[in-house]
Amino acid sequence: MSHNQQDDQRSHEVPSTGIASGVQLNHTVVCAKDRQVSAEFIALVLGLEISAPFGPFLPIDLGNGVTLDYYQLSDQPIQPQHYAFLVPDDQFDTMIARLEALRVTYYADPAHTDPGHVNRLFGGRGAYFADPDGHNMEILTRPYIRS
C-alpha cells in the first residue's frame, strides 16, 4: 500500500462533523535548561505567579485559562519556540521597564534587528525579547488582524 492509499483510507475513517467549536488551548510545555530560572524570568517580566510544581512541570497560569508548563531539559539543546502574550495596554510600559531593569534587550521585530524599540502594529504596541533559553517571547497590546 502506498502512502497515498494509506492517507486516503485514513481520511475515510475519520468522522467529519465540520468545524469544531469550544476547543481551547489548555496548556503547553515550555522546555528550559533550568525550569525555575526560566519560569521566574517570564513570571517577573509579565507580573505573574509560579504555581506549585505538577510532576515534572512548573506551571504558570495565564489569565485566559492557559497554563505554561515549564519542563526541564538540562541535558539536550532547547529548540527555540515563539510565545506571544496579549497584555493590557496599561501594563506594557511596566513590562518594558522590567526588561530594562533586567538588562534584557527588546526589539520591535521578531527577527531582533531593531533593538530598544517597540512596534505599533494593529494600533497597539508590541516588543520581542529572548528568554534565558532563547525562546522568542512577544508582548503585544492588540492581537494580530489576520484578514
Segment lying near Fe ion (by CB under 5 A), choices 1-9, 33-41, 84-92, 96-104: 84-92
Interface stretch with Fe ion, choices 31-39, 68-76, 115-123, 136-144 (CB under 5 A)? 136-144
Q: How far is the CB of 120 from Fe ion (least distance, A)?
A: 15
**Do the Cβ atoms of 6 and 13 come closer than 8 Å?**
no
Binding footprint of Fe ion, residue count (CB under 5 A): 2
DSSP string, 19-66: S--S----EEEEEESSHHHHHHHHHHHHT--B---BTTEEEEE-TTS-
**Among residues 44, 84, 86, 130, the one that binds Fe ion under rule CB under 5 A:** 84
Rounded Cα distance between 96 and 98, Å, is 5
Expressed in angstroms, the distance from the first to the final Cα of the chain is: 41
138 in contact with Fe ion (CB under 5 A): yes
Cβ proximity to Fe ion, 51 vs 136, nearer residue:
136
Residues that bind Fe ion (CB under 5 A): 84, 138
